Structure 1
Amino acid sequence: MKRIMLISALLVYATILHAQQKKDVIKSGNPIFPGWYADPEGIIFNNTYWIYPTYSAPYDKQVFLDAFSSPDLIQWTKHNRIMDTAAIKWAKRAVWAPAIVEKENKYYLFFGANDIQSDKEPGGIGVAVADHPAGPFKDHLGKPLVDKFRNGAQPIDQFVFKDSTGQYYLIYGGWRHCNIAQLNDDFTGFIPFEDGTTFKEITPEGYVEGPFMFIRNGKYYFMWSEGGWTGPNYSVAYAIADSPFGPFKRIGKILQQDPKIATGAGHHSVIHSPGADQWYMVYHRRPLTETDRNARVTCIDRMYFDGNGLIKPVIITNDGVEKNKLK
């Protein structure tokens, strides 16, 4: 009898302990911060998570960028107007899809502006620079870095990729075309490739916009957005290659809507927690209660790989991710 009572008591204790542990698990929730924000670039600087999104609004109101920082993916601090068109004289509207890198204690913010529809219009991809990840960012060139359509690619949706060799590349493009170009040391221009070309097209099947690249176990993972950004079927697909130049053969979708959670899940980035095989996808989506095309929020969920190195479909959630304080 005593033995039965002891087992029963232990089971009750275990149940209470499990419930307490579940209660102690803190999650970010989705969206991770309030406001209409899209196209988030997630990155780690100085043991702090940073997210740089597009302010999601009508084009003429997209004249600034905010940033958000967190020590643990749970508590986020807003940094207002880290860059605006007052500091970028050639940029007038449609400031989109920031991408940022740190080099030699300077922070370089790449952005698209003006949503140009032809080579006759001023605008394209610009670069701003600051001494701190929260800015203030000032124009690095006084003009766009890319101001023309190359290989059919609209100069928007820029991503800066640092290869294992230390070389930085600009990967960009809308209108279903994607280019890669080799940046020079001070990010004021490009270094031509050995064949004399400057912009190489690496467009995979299904590509629309929003490129992103990272390396894992020596392989180059190239990701992009498919579908229309205003619709429910916006999504993310990917490919794997042995080089940043591909060839990239589409493997499949890894992020898309869940009609029970949200629609239009796309235009993402990836954060890799240092020292662990722990990966996060930061992306935007449209709440089920919203129909306006600019009603987009920034969210985060875990990203996992299978035993063959393929990316498992990301499960979008309302809970978000657990606390992960950087050391």
Structure 2
Amino acid sequence: MDLKGNDRRSGNPIFSGWYADPEPRIFEGRYWVYPTYSAAYDDQTFFDAFYSDDLVRWTKVERILEMKDISWARRAMWAPSPIERNGRYYYYFAANDIQSNNELGGIGVAVADRPEGPFRDALGKPLIDQFYHGAQPIDPHVFIDDDGQAYLYYGGWKHCNVVKLNEDMVSIAPFSDGEVYKEITPENFVEGPCMIKRKGKYYFMWAEGGWGGPDYSVGYAVSDSPLGPFVREAKILQQDPEVATGAGHHGVIQIPGEDEWYIVYHRRPLTETAANHREVCIDRMEFDPEGRIRPVKLTFEGVPPRILPAREKSDS
């Protein structure tokens, strides 16, 4: 069945190619997805992006950031997280997969004037280049709270930290208690943090299990503060033996002004066993009356078209 033609749904995957670790955003009245190019580390030397007006038809923008434009990057760039602030776009990413404080690498930040880039290194060095509280400096996720404070969540090796970003988005500020790198690791955390806010509550999500295996999945916690404490509630995304394995490392889209949510994640087709053979998919994410996230159902069909309210008005 032509899922993008006959019944006008997105289909899963939403675009072709091996991609992972998607970060979805809404920029300038359009949906964007920023993924990792899923390949062997030495081949992960660039980032592509994809945009859509309706969640169904996606257009690729190639090489919005390349390793050659990051002076300190040597090996493997992955897990991007962009955000807009003051008319500029800040793009956080991991590079070099450092294994100790004696190696060069960690979390970098690039900047552009447009959602599609081209992005350029903002600092000429990593923003975070050391291990704090045991957290490998990988998998950044940027979140701006309603009061305008920006936070960067990150971490691998089963530890998660959060830092406060200054207004310039390329430097770090201490918390009120003087701490700079605050550990917030919940139970079962492995990597891939993600934060959303709904009805005054902070929903913190993360990847569990091994990224290269079938049991990769997503758990979550809820708190009254962006700093936690985060007590694990449940698993909300995992493999389905009839659909796909290794479902994890996700991002979330909220339709502006609506209690309508979509989860964008990667998974591995049942026909594939290679660790890097991952695809980007989208499905609905729903809440029960008590505010708990319902387990996400993996589908082949994906989601129906959803035009953003601002674009609907501009087209009318």
SS in 1 for 2:229: coil
Equivalent residue, structure 2, for 1:200: 182
1:38 matched to which residue of 2? 20
Alignment of 1:1-327 (within 5 A): 25-326=7-308, 327=311
Supply the distance in 2 between the matched residues of 1:275 and 1:170 (Cα, whole angstroms): 24
C-alpha distance in 2 between matches for 1:325 and 1:125:
34
Structure 1 residue 24: deviation in Å?
A: 6.9
Report the alpha carbon displacement of residue 188 of structure 1 after superposing the two structures with TM: 2.5
Q: Deviations over 1:277-319 (max 9, x none)?
A: 1100000000011111000000000000000000000000000
Q: Deviations over 1:90-149 (max 9, x none)?
A: 012210100000011110000000000000000000000001110000000000000000
Q: Secondary structure at the match of 2:42?
A: helix
Cα drift, residue 275 of structure 1: 2.3
Paired with 2:7 and 2:288, the residues of 1 have a C-alpha distance of: 25
Q: Deviations over 1:187-221 (max 9, x none)?
A: 22211112211000000000000000011000000
What SS does the corresponding residue of 2:74 show, helix, strand or coil? coil
Q: Give, in whole Å, the separation in 1 of the partners of 2:177 and 2:258.
A: 39
Which residue does 1:8 correspond to in 2? none
TM-score by length of 1: 0.92
Residue 228 of structure 1 and its aligned partner are, at CA, apart by 0.2
Number of equivalences? 305
Separation of aligned partners in 2, 1:137 and 1:270: 23
- Note the C-alpha offset of 1:74: 0.7
The 3-state SS of whatever aligns with 2:69 is: coil
In structure 2, distance between residues paired with 1:24 and 1:210:
35
Looking at CA atoms only, which structure, 1 or 2, has the larger radius of gyration?
1
Tell me how far apart the structure 1 counterparts of residues 74 and 15 of structure 2 sit (CA, whole Å). 27
Structure 1: give runs of 5+ residues left out of the alignment.
Answer: 1-22
Query: CA separation in 2, counterparts of 1:187 and 1:141?
Result: 11
Q: Deviations over 1:225-266 (max 9, x none)?
A: 000011101000000000011111100000000010000000
Counterparts of 1:27 and 1:128, CA distance in 2: 34
Q: Which stretches of structure 1, 4 residues or longer, exceed 2 Å deviation after superposition?
A: none
SS in 2 for 1:308: coil
How many percent of aligned residue pairs carry the same amino acid? 62
Q: Which amino acid aligns with 1:255?
A: L
Matches of 1:24 and 1:143 in 2, distance apart? 49
Q: Distance in 2 between matches of 1:220 and 1:52?
A: 23
**Deviation (angstroms), 1:25:** 4.3
Q: Aligned partner of 1:159: which letter?
A: H
Aligned to 2:314: none
Distance of 1:164 and 1:201 partners within structure 2: 22
Deviation, structure 1 residue 158: 0.3
Task: Report the residue type matching 2:239 in the other structure.
Answer: Q
Structure 2 counterpart SS, 1:314 = coil
SS in 2 for 1:293: coil
Superposition deviation, residue 274 in structure 1: 1.2
In the alignment, the residues of structure 2 paired with residue 194 and residue 37 of structure 1 have an alpha-carbon distance, to the nearest angstrom, of: 39
Alignment root-mean-square deviation, CA: 0.9
TM-score (norm 2): 0.95
